[in-house]
C-alpha cells in the first residue's frame, strides 16, 4: 500500500488484492459505476476504489471487503472481484 500511495502511476495495469472498509461514496451517479473511498491498512490510509455497475453489489458505509483490483492509469483502483470480509 505504501508503494501505491507514493506512486500509483508506476503500478498502472497491475492487479492486487486489497482489504479495507468502505468509508464514503465519492460520486452521486445513479445506475453506473460507483467510486468509493476505502480505508486500508493500520495507518488508516484512504484509496479511491471504482466498483463497476456490472458487479451489482450492495455496498454500504462501514462494510469490510476484500477486493481484487487493477490500478488504472489515473491511479484509481478498479474492482475486478469483491468479497465481504
- Chunked into runs of 10 residues, the chain (85 residues) has average pLDDT values of 85 94 85 90 85 90 96 93 94
- Dihedral angle of Cα 33, 39, 41, 44, to the nearest 10 degrees: 150
Q: Which residue ranges make up each domain of the chain?
A: 2-84
Q: What is the pLDDT of residue 43?
A: 67
Q: What is the pLDDT of residue 71?
A: 95
Q: What is the pLDDT of residue 10?
A: 87
CA angle, residues 67, 13, 52, in degrees to nearest 5: 45
Domain spanning 2-84: which CATH class is it, in words? Answer: mainly beta
Q: What is the pLDDT of residue 30?
A: 64
Amino acid at each position: 500500500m505504501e508503494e501505491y500511495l507514493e506512486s500509483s502511476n508506476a503500478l498502472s495495469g497491475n492487479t492486487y488484492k486489497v482489504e479495507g472498509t468502505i468509508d464514503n461514496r465519492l460520486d452521486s451517479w445513479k445506475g453506473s459505476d460507483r467510486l468509493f473511498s476505502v480505508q486500508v491498512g493500520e495507518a488508516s490510509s484512504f484509496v479511491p476504489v471504482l466498483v463497476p455497475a456490472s458487479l451489482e453489489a450492495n455496498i454500504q458505509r462501514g462494510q469490510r471487503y476484500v477486493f481484487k483490483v487493477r490500478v488504472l492509469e489515473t491511479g484509481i483502483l478498479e474492482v475486478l472481484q469483491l468479497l465481504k470480509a
